[in-house]
Amino acid sequence: MKIERVVAHPLAARAPKPVSFAIGDYSTFYATLVEVTTDDGLTGVGECIARKAPQVTAAVVDELLAPLLLGRDPRDIAGLWEQMFAQLRRWGHSRGFVLEAMSGVDTALWDLLARGAGEPLYRSLRGAGRDPVACYASKVYLTDIKRMATEAAAMTRRGFRAIKVQIGRTEALGGLRADVESVRAIRESVGPEVAIMLDANGAYDAATAIRLGRQLEPFDITWLEEPVPPDDISGYALVRRGQAVPLAAGESEFGVFGFRDLIERRAVDVLQPEIGRIGGFTAALRLGALAYAYNLRIAPHTGFSAGVAHLATLHLAAAVPNFMTYEYMLPELLSADGYTENPLRDIFTAPFPEPREGALDLPQGPGLGLEVDWKRVGAFEV
Protein backbone atom coordinates (compact mmCIF):
# COMPACT_ATOMS: atom_id res chain seq x y z
CA MET A 1 0.00 0.00 0.00
CA LYS A 2 1.45 3.35 -1.09
CA ILE A 3 0.25 6.97 -0.97
CA GLU A 4 -0.69 7.94 -4.50
CA ARG A 5 -2.39 11.31 -4.12
CA VAL A 6 -2.61 14.16 -1.59
CA VAL A 7 -5.16 16.91 -2.27
CA ALA A 8 -5.93 20.03 -0.24
CA HIS A 9 -9.29 21.83 -0.41
CA PRO A 10 -9.29 25.42 0.95
CA LEU A 11 -12.81 26.41 2.04
CA ALA A 12 -14.56 29.65 2.96
CA ALA A 13 -18.21 30.08 3.96
CA ARG A 14 -19.84 33.32 4.97
CA ALA A 15 -22.14 33.13 7.98
CA PRO A 16 -25.65 34.57 7.55
CA LYS A 17 -24.88 36.91 10.48
CA PRO A 18 -21.54 37.67 12.21
CA VAL A 19 -20.86 36.32 15.69
CA SER A 20 -19.35 38.67 18.28
CA PHE A 21 -16.75 37.61 20.81
CA ALA A 22 -13.69 39.09 22.52
CA ILE A 23 -11.47 39.07 19.43
CA GLY A 24 -14.12 40.84 17.35
CA ASP A 25 -16.83 39.97 14.86
CA TYR A 26 -16.47 36.66 13.00
CA SER A 27 -18.36 36.62 9.72
CA THR A 28 -16.59 34.00 7.55
CA PHE A 29 -15.71 30.43 8.48
CA TYR A 30 -12.55 28.92 6.97
CA ALA A 31 -10.99 25.46 6.80
CA THR A 32 -8.67 23.37 4.66
CA LEU A 33 -9.66 19.74 4.09
CA VAL A 34 -7.07 17.16 3.08
CA GLU A 35 -7.60 13.93 1.15
CA VAL A 36 -4.93 11.22 1.16
CA THR A 37 -5.50 8.38 -1.34
CA THR A 38 -3.55 5.13 -1.73
CA ASP A 39 -2.79 3.09 -4.82
CA ASP A 40 -5.51 0.60 -3.85
CA GLY A 41 -8.19 3.31 -3.83
CA LEU A 42 -8.50 3.87 -0.07
CA THR A 43 -9.00 7.54 0.96
CA GLY A 44 -8.72 9.27 4.32
CA VAL A 45 -9.89 12.79 5.14
CA GLY A 46 -8.47 15.34 7.58
CA GLU A 47 -8.79 19.04 8.37
CA CYS A 48 -6.30 21.84 8.98
CA ILE A 49 -7.49 24.71 11.12
CA ALA A 50 -7.68 27.97 9.16
CA ARG A 51 -8.81 31.21 10.73
CA LYS A 52 -7.82 33.27 7.69
CA ALA A 53 -6.53 32.57 4.16
CA PRO A 54 -7.02 28.77 3.89
CA GLN A 55 -5.05 28.92 0.64
CA VAL A 56 -1.88 29.32 2.72
CA THR A 57 -2.40 26.02 4.54
CA ALA A 58 -3.36 24.34 1.28
CA ALA A 59 -0.09 25.54 -0.28
CA VAL A 60 1.90 24.02 2.60
CA VAL A 61 0.13 20.69 2.05
CA ASP A 62 0.63 20.78 -1.72
CA GLU A 63 4.17 22.14 -1.94
CA LEU A 64 5.87 20.98 1.27
CA LEU A 65 4.14 17.88 2.62
CA ALA A 66 2.72 16.05 -0.40
CA PRO A 67 6.12 15.54 -2.12
CA LEU A 68 7.40 13.80 1.02
CA LEU A 69 4.33 11.58 1.32
CA LEU A 70 3.90 10.33 -2.24
CA GLY A 71 4.99 6.73 -2.66
CA ARG A 72 5.22 6.14 1.11
CA ASP A 73 3.40 3.55 3.22
CA PRO A 74 0.51 5.39 4.96
CA ARG A 75 0.66 3.01 7.91
CA ASP A 76 3.96 4.53 9.05
CA ILE A 77 2.09 7.44 10.60
CA ALA A 78 4.50 8.35 13.41
CA GLY A 79 7.50 8.16 11.08
CA LEU A 80 5.80 10.32 8.47
CA TRP A 81 4.85 12.83 11.17
CA GLU A 82 8.48 13.10 12.31
CA GLN A 83 9.73 13.55 8.76
CA MET A 84 7.16 16.23 7.96
CA PHE A 85 8.06 18.05 11.17
CA ALA A 86 11.83 17.74 10.64
CA GLN A 87 11.79 19.44 7.23
CA LEU A 88 11.65 22.96 8.67
CA ARG A 89 11.92 22.54 12.44
CA ARG A 90 15.55 23.63 12.67
CA TRP A 91 14.82 26.47 10.26
CA GLY A 92 12.46 27.94 12.82
CA HIS A 93 9.12 26.63 11.50
CA SER A 94 8.01 24.36 14.32
CA ARG A 95 4.67 26.12 14.78
CA GLY A 96 2.13 27.99 12.67
CA PHE A 97 0.97 26.98 9.22
CA VAL A 98 3.33 24.00 9.02
CA LEU A 99 1.80 22.32 12.08
CA GLU A 100 -1.71 23.22 10.96
CA ALA A 101 -1.08 21.63 7.57
CA MET A 102 0.45 18.56 9.21
CA SER A 103 -2.66 18.26 11.38
CA GLY A 104 -4.88 17.75 8.36
CA VAL A 105 -2.52 15.22 6.79
CA ASP A 106 -2.08 13.26 10.03
CA THR A 107 -5.83 13.10 10.65
CA ALA A 108 -6.36 11.87 7.09
CA LEU A 109 -3.76 9.13 7.61
CA TRP A 110 -5.46 7.94 10.78
CA ASP A 111 -8.85 8.00 9.04
CA LEU A 112 -7.35 5.97 6.21
CA LEU A 113 -5.82 3.47 8.66
CA ALA A 114 -9.12 2.94 10.47
CA ARG A 115 -11.02 2.60 7.19
CA GLY A 116 -8.57 -0.05 6.09
CA ALA A 117 -9.18 -1.92 9.35
CA GLY A 118 -12.95 -1.52 8.96
CA GLU A 119 -13.37 0.00 12.42
CA PRO A 120 -14.26 3.38 13.97
CA LEU A 121 -11.24 5.63 14.31
CA TYR A 122 -11.40 5.80 18.09
CA ARG A 123 -10.99 2.00 18.15
CA SER A 124 -7.90 2.25 15.94
CA LEU A 125 -6.43 4.72 18.44
CA ARG A 126 -6.47 1.88 21.01
CA GLY A 127 -7.38 4.31 23.74
CA ALA A 128 -10.02 4.47 26.45
CA GLY A 129 -12.88 3.31 24.23
CA ARG A 130 -15.14 5.92 25.77
CA ASP A 131 -18.67 5.83 24.28
CA PRO A 132 -20.70 7.96 24.77
CA VAL A 133 -18.61 11.08 25.34
CA ALA A 134 -19.59 13.79 27.84
CA CYS A 135 -20.05 17.21 26.25
CA TYR A 136 -20.97 20.82 26.98
CA ALA A 137 -22.92 23.35 24.92
CA SER A 138 -20.85 26.03 23.22
CA LYS A 139 -21.69 28.81 23.53
CA VAL A 140 -23.48 31.93 24.72
CA TYR A 141 -21.97 34.78 22.68
CA LEU A 142 -21.65 38.43 23.59
CA THR A 143 -24.89 40.38 23.40
CA ASP A 144 -27.04 42.15 25.98
CA ILE A 145 -26.97 40.53 29.42
CA LYS A 146 -30.65 39.66 29.64
CA ARG A 147 -30.53 37.90 26.31
CA MET A 148 -27.42 35.95 27.29
CA ALA A 149 -29.16 34.72 30.45
CA THR A 150 -32.19 33.68 28.42
CA GLU A 151 -30.00 31.81 25.94
CA ALA A 152 -28.17 29.97 28.73
CA ALA A 153 -31.46 28.85 30.29
CA ALA A 154 -32.66 27.62 26.89
CA MET A 155 -29.55 25.42 26.61
CA THR A 156 -30.28 23.76 29.94
CA ARG A 157 -33.84 23.04 28.83
CA ARG A 158 -32.33 21.11 25.92
CA GLY A 159 -30.63 18.79 28.40
CA PHE A 160 -27.17 20.35 28.68
CA ARG A 161 -25.74 20.35 32.18
CA ALA A 162 -22.66 22.35 31.18
CA ILE A 163 -22.42 25.49 29.03
CA LYS A 164 -19.72 27.86 27.81
CA VAL A 165 -20.19 31.61 28.00
CA GLN A 166 -18.28 34.32 26.18
CA ILE A 167 -16.74 37.17 28.18
CA GLY A 168 -13.98 39.68 27.43
CA ARG A 169 -15.96 42.78 26.58
CA THR A 170 -14.18 45.93 25.47
CA GLU A 171 -14.53 49.03 27.61
CA ALA A 172 -17.02 50.39 25.08
CA LEU A 173 -19.25 47.36 25.84
CA GLY A 174 -18.95 47.69 29.61
CA GLY A 175 -15.64 45.91 30.19
CA LEU A 176 -14.97 43.88 33.31
CA ARG A 177 -18.05 45.10 35.18
CA ALA A 178 -20.41 43.95 32.43
CA ASP A 179 -18.61 40.61 32.18
CA VAL A 180 -19.17 39.95 35.88
CA GLU A 181 -22.80 41.03 35.70
CA SER A 182 -23.45 38.74 32.73
CA VAL A 183 -22.02 35.76 34.64
CA ARG A 184 -24.10 36.67 37.69
CA ALA A 185 -27.27 36.82 35.56
CA ILE A 186 -26.50 33.51 33.86
CA ARG A 187 -25.83 31.72 37.13
CA GLU A 188 -29.16 32.97 38.48
CA SER A 189 -30.84 31.88 35.27
CA VAL A 190 -29.48 28.30 35.09
CA GLY A 191 -29.31 27.55 38.81
CA PRO A 192 -26.54 26.01 40.91
CA GLU A 193 -26.33 22.57 39.27
CA VAL A 194 -25.20 23.62 35.79
CA ALA A 195 -21.47 23.87 35.07
CA ILE A 196 -20.43 27.23 33.59
CA MET A 197 -17.24 27.62 31.57
CA LEU A 198 -16.06 31.11 30.62
CA ASP A 199 -14.05 32.00 27.49
CA ALA A 200 -12.20 35.33 27.33
CA ASN A 201 -10.12 34.71 24.16
CA GLY A 202 -7.11 36.44 25.69
CA ALA A 203 -8.93 39.71 26.36
CA TYR A 204 -7.24 40.66 29.65
CA ASP A 205 -3.83 41.33 31.09
CA ALA A 206 -2.84 39.26 34.12
CA ALA A 207 -3.80 41.87 36.74
CA THR A 208 -7.26 42.36 35.25
CA ALA A 209 -7.79 38.60 34.92
CA ILE A 210 -6.93 38.16 38.61
CA ARG A 211 -9.44 40.85 39.57
CA LEU A 212 -12.02 39.12 37.38
CA GLY A 213 -11.34 35.68 38.82
CA ARG A 214 -11.72 36.88 42.40
CA GLN A 215 -15.07 38.47 41.59
CA LEU A 216 -16.20 35.27 39.85
CA GLU A 217 -15.34 32.92 42.70
CA PRO A 218 -18.84 33.04 44.29
CA PHE A 219 -20.41 31.77 41.04
CA ASP A 220 -18.72 28.33 41.05
CA ILE A 221 -17.07 28.61 37.62
CA THR A 222 -15.73 25.36 36.12
CA TRP A 223 -12.94 27.08 34.21
CA LEU A 224 -11.77 30.43 32.88
CA GLU A 225 -10.50 29.90 29.34
CA GLU A 226 -7.71 31.96 27.78
CA PRO A 227 -7.83 34.86 30.28
CA VAL A 228 -4.65 36.36 28.75
CA PRO A 229 -3.11 36.11 25.25
CA PRO A 230 -1.87 32.58 24.45
CA ASP A 231 1.80 33.56 24.32
CA ASP A 232 1.75 35.13 27.81
CA ILE A 233 2.78 32.03 29.78
CA SER A 234 4.01 34.13 32.70
CA GLY A 235 0.61 35.82 32.76
CA TYR A 236 -1.13 32.44 32.96
CA ALA A 237 1.06 31.45 35.88
CA LEU A 238 0.29 34.71 37.70
CA VAL A 239 -3.46 34.38 37.13
CA ARG A 240 -3.54 30.76 38.26
CA ARG A 241 -1.81 31.64 41.51
CA GLY A 242 -3.70 34.88 42.08
CA GLN A 243 -7.27 33.59 42.15
CA ALA A 244 -9.19 30.34 42.61
CA VAL A 245 -11.03 29.74 39.31
CA PRO A 246 -9.33 26.90 37.33
CA LEU A 247 -7.69 27.97 34.06
CA ALA A 248 -8.08 26.32 30.67
CA ALA A 249 -5.99 26.88 27.54
CA GLY A 250 -4.40 25.20 24.54
CA GLU A 251 -6.50 25.82 21.44
CA SER A 252 -3.76 28.16 20.18
CA GLU A 253 -0.85 25.81 20.91
CA PHE A 254 1.13 23.75 18.40
CA GLY A 255 2.47 20.27 19.03
CA VAL A 256 3.58 18.79 22.33
CA PHE A 257 6.33 21.40 22.56
CA GLY A 258 3.75 24.18 22.53
CA PHE A 259 2.05 22.67 25.59
CA ARG A 260 5.28 21.85 27.38
CA ASP A 261 5.80 25.26 29.00
CA LEU A 262 2.16 25.52 30.07
CA ILE A 263 2.45 22.13 31.75
CA GLU A 264 5.90 22.46 33.31
CA ARG A 265 5.09 25.85 34.80
CA ARG A 266 1.75 24.60 36.14
CA ALA A 267 0.11 27.53 34.40
CA VAL A 268 -3.22 25.84 33.60
CA ASP A 269 -5.57 23.20 34.99
CA VAL A 270 -7.32 22.03 31.80
CA LEU A 271 -5.62 21.43 28.44
CA GLN A 272 -7.61 22.16 25.26
CA PRO A 273 -5.85 20.75 22.19
CA GLU A 274 -7.25 21.65 18.78
CA ILE A 275 -6.95 18.58 16.52
CA GLY A 276 -6.51 20.79 13.44
CA ARG A 277 -3.61 22.72 14.97
CA ILE A 278 -1.71 20.54 17.44
CA GLY A 279 -0.47 18.16 14.74
CA GLY A 280 -3.38 15.75 14.37
CA PHE A 281 -3.96 12.56 16.34
CA THR A 282 -0.28 11.69 16.59
CA ALA A 283 0.56 14.85 18.52
CA ALA A 284 -2.70 14.82 20.48
CA LEU A 285 -2.07 11.30 21.77
CA ARG A 286 1.41 12.32 22.88
CA LEU A 287 -0.13 15.23 24.74
CA GLY A 288 -2.58 12.80 26.34
CA ALA A 289 0.31 10.79 27.79
CA LEU A 290 2.00 13.97 29.05
CA ALA A 291 -1.22 15.22 30.63
CA TYR A 292 -1.65 11.86 32.35
CA ALA A 293 1.85 12.13 33.80
CA TYR A 294 1.05 15.58 35.23
CA ASN A 295 -2.50 14.66 36.32
CA LEU A 296 -4.08 17.36 34.14
CA ARG A 297 -7.51 17.17 32.51
CA ILE A 298 -8.11 17.30 28.75
CA ALA A 299 -11.11 19.04 27.17
CA PRO A 300 -10.53 19.04 23.38
CA HIS A 301 -11.44 22.26 21.59
CA THR A 302 -13.56 22.48 18.41
CA GLY A 303 -14.70 26.09 17.98
CA PHE A 304 -15.19 27.51 14.50
CA SER A 305 -13.59 24.61 12.64
CA ALA A 306 -15.40 22.64 9.96
CA GLY A 307 -17.17 19.34 10.52
CA VAL A 308 -14.22 17.04 9.87
CA ALA A 309 -12.28 18.54 12.80
CA HIS A 310 -15.37 18.37 15.02
CA LEU A 311 -15.81 14.71 14.16
CA ALA A 312 -12.11 13.90 14.58
CA THR A 313 -12.14 15.63 17.98
CA LEU A 314 -15.01 13.42 19.07
CA HIS A 315 -12.89 10.34 18.33
CA LEU A 316 -9.97 11.88 20.22
CA ALA A 317 -12.26 12.53 23.20
CA ALA A 318 -13.25 8.87 23.19
CA ALA A 319 -9.64 7.72 23.33
CA VAL A 320 -7.51 10.16 25.32
CA PRO A 321 -6.77 9.61 29.04
CA ASN A 322 -7.79 12.15 31.70
CA PHE A 323 -10.65 13.29 29.47
CA MET A 324 -12.97 15.91 30.96
CA THR A 325 -15.52 17.06 28.36
CA TYR A 326 -16.02 17.68 24.62
CA GLU A 327 -16.98 21.05 23.13
CA TYR A 328 -20.24 20.54 21.25
CA MET A 329 -20.76 23.56 19.01
CA LEU A 330 -24.46 24.21 18.62
CA PRO A 331 -25.57 24.26 14.97
CA GLU A 332 -27.20 27.63 15.65
CA LEU A 333 -25.03 30.44 17.00
CA LEU A 334 -26.34 33.49 18.82
CA SER A 335 -25.36 36.73 17.08
CA ALA A 336 -26.23 40.30 17.97
CA ASP A 337 -29.02 40.23 15.37
CA GLY A 338 -30.38 36.77 16.00
CA TYR A 339 -29.24 33.26 15.25
CA THR A 340 -26.70 32.26 12.64
CA GLU A 341 -24.74 29.10 11.81
CA ASN A 342 -21.39 27.66 10.77
CA PRO A 343 -22.06 26.43 7.21
CA LEU A 344 -18.93 24.23 7.28
CA ARG A 345 -19.94 22.03 10.20
CA ASP A 346 -22.64 19.86 8.60
CA ILE A 347 -20.83 18.77 5.42
CA PHE A 348 -21.57 15.06 5.59
CA THR A 349 -23.98 12.75 3.82
CA ALA A 350 -25.53 11.90 7.21
CA PRO A 351 -26.29 14.17 10.20
CA PHE A 352 -23.61 15.04 12.73
CA PRO A 353 -24.19 13.22 16.08
CA GLU A 354 -26.57 15.06 18.39
CA PRO A 355 -26.19 15.03 22.18
CA ARG A 356 -28.55 13.16 24.47
CA GLU A 357 -28.60 14.15 28.14
CA GLY A 358 -25.23 15.87 27.86
CA ALA A 359 -23.40 13.13 25.95
CA LEU A 360 -22.60 12.18 22.34
CA ASP A 361 -22.60 8.70 20.83
CA LEU A 362 -19.67 7.82 18.58
CA PRO A 363 -20.48 7.02 14.94
CA GLN A 364 -19.69 3.35 14.34
CA GLY A 365 -18.82 3.46 10.65
CA PRO A 366 -15.21 2.90 9.55
CA GLY A 367 -12.74 5.75 10.04
CA LEU A 368 -14.32 9.03 11.10
CA GLY A 369 -17.69 7.32 10.74
CA LEU A 370 -19.37 9.81 8.40
CA GLU A 371 -18.79 10.43 4.70
CA VAL A 372 -17.98 13.93 3.45
CA ASP A 373 -20.52 15.27 0.96
CA TRP A 374 -18.05 16.58 -1.61
CA LYS A 375 -20.78 18.16 -3.68
CA ARG A 376 -21.78 20.28 -0.69
CA VAL A 377 -18.14 21.04 0.08
CA GLY A 378 -17.56 22.13 -3.51
CA ALA A 379 -19.84 25.11 -3.00
CA PHE A 380 -17.38 26.49 -0.42
CA GLU A 381 -14.10 25.71 -2.15
CA VAL A 382 -11.87 28.73 -2.72
Catalytic status, residue 301: yes
Q: How far apart are CA 296 and CA 112, in angstroms?
A: 30
Residue 225 forms beta bridges with which residues?
199, 248
Q: How far apart are CA 51 and CA 305, in angstroms?
A: 8
Beta carbons of 41 and 75 less than 8 angstroms apart: no
Q: How far is CA 132 from the centre of its chain?
A: 19
Cis peptide before 139 (omega within 30 of 0): yes
Cis peptide before 132 (omega within 30 of 0): yes
Instruction: Provide the 10 A C-beta neighbour count for residue 89.
Output: 15
Q: How far apart are CA 228 and CA 242, in angstroms?
A: 13
Catalytic residue among 9, 93, 301, 310: 301
Three-class DSSP category at 93 = coil
Three-class DSSP category at 83 = helix
The residues, any chain, with a CB within 8 Å of residue 14's CB and separated by 6 or more, are 27, 28, 29, 343
DSSP-based helix, strand, coil % in the chain, nearest 5: 40, 25, 35
Q: What residues act catalytically?
A: 301
